[in-house]
Amino acid sequence: MTIFQKVLNNNTVICGEILDVLRSVVFCAVMVVLTGCASPETLQAGQRFTFDETTLPQWEQRDFKGKTRYELVDLDGESVLQATADNTASLLYRQQDIDLLATPLVRWRWRIRNTYPSPEDTANGERSRNGDDYPARFYVAIQTGLMPWETITINYVWSSSEPVGAAWDNAFTDKARMLVLQSGESKKMQWITETRDLVADFRQLFGIEASQINGFAVMVDGDNSSQDGQAWFADIEFLPRP
């Protein structure tokens, strides 16, 4: 995805407007704006975020290329979020202050329909800008200042090819770290429950002692590598340690 446009004319480089910022950074920038409005109520320990007709309006969508389609569907008698990307990139985010001293654990469920074909060379793999697409992502973000770039995010991803446990800087910014929780298609079309210690993960990936996050998001994208994918999300919950 383009960060800056440059136009060459008579050996002169003209820097254009910033067209877009990496998904994670824009997600956080939006939350900075929201935080400048009404301060959200701090999450109560053990509160669950479900997806239904009542709660979906509390989420907002940010489009980067086209529109990933986010909609409620009924699966096995349960209302869940279905995300469908067709060479598109959008995320669905929720701005929410969460006290990690009280609720350091996050738990959610997800499942995917498919992964993406592995590129012939690593230059176009998931660690590159050309391959920065994932069958499913779950973001958490911390504002470190008032400016949009003063934000850090962890991207928990279901990878097409990288091994479980792999971690790296996002291809567009070192303000976002990628961490693979699932990989490949061996568990596709199965609900997988993830539980992460956010304090431990921010310590490992950023070297900080996090006490609060300011929002979270889900995403399915395929714009950089011209892929289509579908995933489902359910039951996001923040919990105390046992």
Interacting residues of 8 by C-beta distance below 8 A, sequence separation 6+: none
> Does residue 242 sit in helix, strand or coil?
coil
Q: What integer pLDDT is reported at residue 122 of this predicted model?
A: 57
pLDDT at 164: 98
Average per-residue pLDDT for the chain = 83
Per this entry, what is the length of the chain?
A: 242
Average the pLDDT over 143-155 and give the result: 89
Predicted confidence (pLDDT) at residue 9 exceeds the cutoff of 90: no
pLDDT at 239 over 90: yes
How confident is the model over 50-70, as a mean pLDDT? 94
Number of other residues whose CB lies within 10 A of the CB of residue 9:
7
- Amino acid (1-letter code) at residue 5: Q
Long-range residue pairs from 66-71, CB within 8 A, at least 24 positions apart, any chain? 66/90, 66/223, 68/219, 68/220, 68/221
Mean pLDDT value of segment 193-212: 98
What pLDDT digit, counting tens, does each position of 116-145 carry? 987 665 567 899 888 889 999 999 999 998
**Structure confidence at residue 100 as a pLDDT band (50, 70, 90):** very high
Q: What whole-number distance in Å separates Cα of residue 170 and Cα of residue 154?
A: 10
If you ran DSSP here, which 8-state letter would residue 10 be given?
T
Mean pLDDT within 98-107:
97
From 103, 101, 83, 102, select the one nearest 93 (Cα to Cα). Answer: 83
> Which pLDDT score, from 0 to 100, does residue 5 have?
27
Which two three-digit tokens encode residue 55? 């709660």
pLDDT, mean of residues 62-69? 93
Q: How confident is the model at residue 39 (pLDDT cuts 50, 70, 90)?
A: very low
Rounded to whole angstroms, how far apart are CA atoms 107 and 15? Answer: 43
Closest CA to 69 of 224, 238, 232: 232
> Long-range contacts made by residues 74-77, C-beta under 8 angstroms, separation at least 24?
75/232
Confidence at 12, pLDDT banded by 50, 70, 90: very low
Domains in the chain, CATH or no CATH each: 22-239 (2.60.120.260)
10 Å Cβ neighbour count for 172? Answer: 18
User: What amino acid occupies position 240?
Assistant: P
pLDDT at 41: 55
The pTM (predicted TM-score) of the whole model is 0.83
pLDDT in tens, 215-229: 999 999 988 888 999
Parallel, antiparallel, or unpaired: how do β-strands 4-9 and 167-169 relate?
unpaired
Write out the two tokens for 204.
């490992």
Dist CA 96 CA 105 (whole Å): 15
What is the C-alpha separation between 237 and 50, in angstroms, rounded? 9
